[in-house]
Amino acid sequence: MHTPEGRYVRFGVREHGMVAVSVGLFANGGMRHYCATFLPFLPFFGNCAAAIRVSALSKMGIIYIFAHDSICLGEDGPTHQPIKTLESLHCLPNLHIWRPADSN
């Protein structure tokens, strides 16, 4: 492909659909890909978190990118402060988490 057209699927605010399609693509073809959303929105889409759990437990090689983990988003109120979200992701087996701001 000489152009990036057709390489991206834009789901909008449909995190569960995004993760479910990613799991289906990997399960059927083994294609390594990524899906991305904002970390503060993960707790509100419970099905998204469940699909991430399924893919982690199934040892699927999907790359999840969660951006803006409450850096400069706290002024938007408690819905944009994912205090327990990162810890709940750390509890999943086969899910590796890298944070560029993490001292560890």
Question: Does residue 102 register a pLDDT over 80?
Answer: no
**pLDDT recorded at residue 88:** 80
What average pLDDT does the chain have?
75
- Domain 18-90 sits in CATH at 3.40.50.970
pLDDT tens-place string over residues 21-54: 888 888 888 677 888 887 777 766 566 788 888 8
Of the two residues 61 and 11, the one the predictor is more confident about is: 61
Q: In the prediction, which pLDDT does 23 show?
A: 87
87 an active-site residue?
no
pLDDT at 44: 61
The rounded Cα 1 to chain-centroid distance in angstroms is 26
Q: Per-residue confidence at 2, pLDDT binned at 50, 70, 90?
A: low
- Are residues 82 and 70 in contact, defined by beta-carbon separation less than 8 angstroms? yes
Give the per-residue pLDDT at 9: 77
Catalytic residue among 5, 15, 75, 87: 15
Residue 34 carries which DSSP code?
A: E
Question: Which residue intervals of the chain are DSSP H helices?
Answer: 15-29, 46-57, 85-90
Separation of alpha carbons 9 and 11, rounded Å:
6
